[in-house]
Amino acid sequence: MDDHVTTRSDAPERRAPEATTTASRRHRQRLETLRTIVLGVGFPILLVLIWDRAVAISGTRLIPSPHQVAVMMYDFSFGGVYDDAFSGTILIHIWKSVQRVYSGFFLAAIIGIPLGMMIGRSRILRQLLDPTISLLRPIPVTAWLPLSMIFFGLGPNAAIFLVFLGAFYPILLNTMFGVRSIDPRLFEAAAMLGCSGTRMFRQIVLPASLPAIFSGLRIAHGFAWILIVVGEMTGVPTGLGSVVMDGRTLSRTDLVITGMIVIGACGFVTDRIIVAISNRLLSWSPQHRE
């Protein structure tokens, strides 16, 4: 967009379409939305149909049919079908898992973001910590399981620790990367306008690296929900991970699949929340919108 004398002040109007094109564009947009929904929902429905047919044709008794899982899901949510230890307990399990996921996740964010900002800005800190981080990072989080059980015993803290570990590295590394890729001109501009010291962190470093921080948070958040199952294997009585593990122990695959679906749904919904927050905070940055 150029902005010489004649067009400068009314550049937006110049591109404003006439009424007819507005209507046809709205129509096209509606079709586009419809297609997004049909394709996005249609594919999982197709998968469920294939699952149903595959179970029916093979006659396997190891994998439950979608219908059996639906019944289990109903019982897990509202009770009244099997009336066992899992009937109507979904909210308790979700609540326990949410607590653990977000204890670990927020702990990782509270430590990872400031640490990443400081490491990104300070060469000495980078020299001090970078080799250690690079050394610890490739260790799979699940390999920490035995040690975390020794540190924290059999209980929720071991699960929180695993979630924390899994969420920590993506947050830390993305924050470091975000800080290091800030245009140095922005620091110069801020300095010449009288900004310095800790105000530089709050006013320049944090907002400028926010897009990278949010992509780190999003990856970490995904890991956190993955790791909750592993974390809740450590002998806690409640939580979605423990439901899946109990299902395995009891050879109840309908319960296992029900637990898997609930974890997937929780991860999906909370991911959308994170995306919504990030879109709101990053509305200034068109390339980071979804």
123 token code pair:
């060469």
77 token code pair:
């949510």
Site string for another protein, 66-105 (x = CB under 8 A): ----------------------------------------
105, 220 Cβ separation under 8 angstroms: yes
212, 113 Cβ separation under 8 angstroms: no
Does 8 bind another protein (CB under 8 A)? Our answer is yes
Interface region with another protein, contact rule CB under 8 A, candidates 41-49, 105-113, 190-198, 267-275: 190-198
Number of other CB atoms surrounding residue 237 within 10 Å: 11
Q: At what angle do helices 156-180 and 206-231 cross, to 10 degrees?
A: 150
Does 9 bind another protein (CB under 8 A)? Our answer is yes
Can you tell me the distance from the alpha carbon of 62 to that of 212, in angstroms, rounded to the nearest whole number? 44
Does 199 bind another protein (CB under 8 A)? Our answer is yes
Does 181 bind another protein (CB under 8 A)? Our answer is no
Cβ of residue 2: shortest distance to another protein, in angstroms?
5
Can you tell me the distance from the alpha carbon of 84 to that of 120, in angstroms, rounded to the nearest whole number? 53
Cβ of residue 8: shortest distance to another protein, in angstroms?
7
Tell me, what DSSP letter sits at residue 202? I
- CA within 13 Å, CB half, 212: 22
Of the candidates 14, 15, 61, 185, which one interacts with another protein according to CB under 8 A?
185
Can you tell me the distance from the alpha carbon of 107 to that of 87, in angstroms, rounded to the nearest whole number? 32
223, 169 Cβ separation under 8 angstroms: no
Nearer to another protein by Cβ, of 138 and 194: the residue is 194
157, 95 Cβ separation under 8 angstroms: no
* Residue in the structure block whose two tokens are 């230890």: 85
Does 208 bind another protein (CB under 8 A)? Our answer is yes
Of the candidates 146, 188, 264, 272, which one interacts with another protein according to CB under 8 A?
188
Number of other CB atoms surrounding residue 46 within 10 Å: 10
Of the candidates 101, 149, 176, 204, which one interacts with another protein according to CB under 8 A?
204
Interface region with another protein, contact rule CB under 8 A, candidates 204-212, 234-242, 257-265, 267-275: 204-212
- CA within 13 Å, CB half, 7: 9
* Residue in the structure block whose two tokens are 């129509």: 27
Site string for another protein, 266-285 (x = CB under 8 A): ----------------xxxx
Q: What are phi and psi of 234, to 5 degrees?
A: -80, 35
Does 61 bind another protein (CB under 8 A)? Our answer is no
Interface region with another protein, contact rule CB under 8 A, candidates 5-13, 18-26, 43-51, 131-139: 5-13
Of the candidates 50, 191, 265, 273, which one interacts with another protein according to CB under 8 A?
191
Interface region with another protein, contact rule CB under 8 A, candidates 107-115, 125-133, 135-143, 181-189: 181-189
How many residues make contact with another protein (CB under 8 A)?
29
Does 16 bind another protein (CB under 8 A)? Our answer is no
Q: Under the rule (CB under 8 A), what is the footprint of another protein?
A: 1-5, 8-9, 11, 183, 185-186, 188-195, 199, 204, 207-208, 210, 282-286
